[in-house]
A and B are shown apart, each in its own frame.
Chain A
Amino acid sequence: MEEKVKEKKEILLQGNVACAQGALAAGLNFFAGYPITPSTEIAEYLAKNLPKYGGKFIQMEDEIASISAVIGASLAGAKAMTATSGPGFSLMQENIGYAYIAEVPCVIVDVQRGGPSTGLPTKVSQSDTMQARWGTHGDYHSITLAVSSVKECFELIIRAFNLSEKYRTPVILLMDEVIGHMREKVTLPQPEEIKVFNRWKPTVPPEWYQHFEINPHFISPMASFGEGYRFNVTGLTHDPLGFPTAKAQEIKDKLDKLRNKIEHNINDIVQVKEEFMEDATSAIFAYGSAARSARQAIRIARQKRIKVGLIQPTTVWPFPDVYMEHMSDKLELILVVELNQGQLVNEVLRTNCGRARIRRLNRYDGELITPDEIFKRLREVR
Chain B
Amino acid sequence: MEQMTKITYRYLRTKKKFPSVWCSGCGIGIVFGTLIRAIDNLKLGKDQIALVSGIGCSSRMPVYADFNTLHTTHGRALAFATGVKMAKPELSVIVITGDGDGLAIGGNHFIHTARRNIDITTILLNNNTYAMTGGQYSPCTPFEKYGTTAPFGNVERPFDPCDLAKGSGAVFVARGTTYHVIQLQKLIEKAIVKKGFSLVEVVCHCPVIYGRLNREGSAVEMMKWQRKHAVSIESAQRMSPEKLKDKFLTGVLWDIEFPEYCEEYEKVIARAQGRS
Contacts and interface: CB of A to CB of B under 8 A. Distances in A.
Given A69-B82, A98-B72, A76 B108 contact: no
A234 B76 contact: no
A233 B69 contact: yes
Nearest to A61: B112
A65 B76 contact: yes
Given A69-B79, A95-B76, A232-B71, A52 B273 contact: yes
A230 interface: yes
Contact of A225 (B76, B82, B91): B91
Interface string A242-266: 0110000000000000000000000
B73 A235 contact: yes
Contacts of A230: 46-47, 66-69
B79 A72 contact: yes
A80 B108 CA distance: 22
A233 B70 CA distance: 5
Given A72-B87, A226-B47, A230-B67, A243 B80 contact: no
Contacts of B85: 72
A76 B109 contact: no
Contacts of A236: 71
Contacts of B112: 60-61, 65
A189 interface: no
Contacts of B271: 51
B109 A65 contact: yes
Contacts of B13: 232
Contacts of B265: 51, 56, 58
A235 B82 contact: no
Given A56-B87, A78-B87, A244 B63 contact: yes
Nearest to B47: A228
A241 B13 CA distance: 11
Nearest to A79: B87
Nearest to A210: B15
Contacts of A64: 76, 79
B90 interface: yes
Contacts of A367: none
A80 B63 CA distance: 25
A75 interface: yes
A225 B81 CA distance: 12
Given A75-B84, A241-B15, A243-B63, A226 B48 contact: yes
A62 interface: yes
Given A51-B268, A51-B269, A226-B91, A65 B86 contact: no
Contacts of A232: 13, 62-63, 69-71
B188 interface: no
Contacts of A51: 265, 268-269, 271-273
Interface residues of B, number: 41
Contact of B86 (A49, A56, A94): A56
A231 interface: yes
B269 A76 contact: no
Contacts of B48: 226
Interface in B243-276: 265, 268-269, 271-273
A58 B69 contact: no
Given A30-B83, A71-B80, A72-B84, A61 B68 contact: no
A122 to B, nearest CB: 27
B17 interface: yes
A68 B108 contact: no
A235 B265 CA distance: 30
B88 interface: yes
A98 B269 CA distance: 30
B173 interface: no
Nearest to A228: B47
A70 interface: yes
B206 interface: no
Interface of B: 13, 15-17, 46-48, 50, 52, 62-63, 66-73, 76, 79-88, 90-91, 108-109, 112, 265, 268-269, 271-273
Interface of A: 29-30, 32, 48-49, 51-52, 54, 56, 58, 60-62, 64-66, 68-78, 80, 94-95, 98, 224-228, 230-236, 241, 243-244
3 nearest A-B residue pairs (beta carbon) = A72-B83, A68-B79, A69-B83
27 contacts: A30-B83, A30-B86, A51-B269, A51-B272, A51-B273, A52-B272, A54-B269, A61-B79, A65-B109, A68-B79, A69-B80, A69-B83, A71-B72, A72-B82, A72-B85, A74-B83, A74-B87, A95-B73, A98-B73, A225-B84, A225-B91, A226-B50, A226-B88, A226-B91, A231-B68, A235-B73, A243-B15
